Structure 1
């Protein structure tokens, strides 16, 4: 099972990340200035969060598929016993 890019999932993850982003308390007025390493770390963190969400969704989908398969198997077993 391969992991496919879903733009809606990406946007959703990014929106959730931005909602929980801590607000910097600076009185200098230069909040927009960032250290280059800090920007790289922030971007890498966003990628890790989005990747983790995608993997979690993939695991949930796989779990649902396995549960459905098990239910079908049990139904077939029950039908075989009755016949």
Structure 2
């Protein structure tokens, strides 16, 4: 049975007018550290980027996801279900 603290948390936002996306995923790596994978780019394009950020804990990662979501909404992005 999967443990809830080991399940990845992820969110995705799109900006329909600019055809842009931004996604984040909180994961537990092989060393037991929490990492936040951030990806961005154009919808239907091969251009974009990503970065992996280490976070102190799952709770710290979830707080970062909340802050990122707030910032994305301020820039006109909408959260998607995917």
TM range (shorter): 0.3 to 0.5
Higher relative contact order (CA 8 A, sep 6+): 1
Structure with more strand by fraction: 2
Structure with more helix by fraction: 1
Instruction: Provide the TM-score with structure 2 as the length reference.
Output: 0.34
Instruction: Provide the TM-score with structure 1 as the length reference.
Output: 0.33
Structure 1 or 2, whichever has the larger Rg, is 1
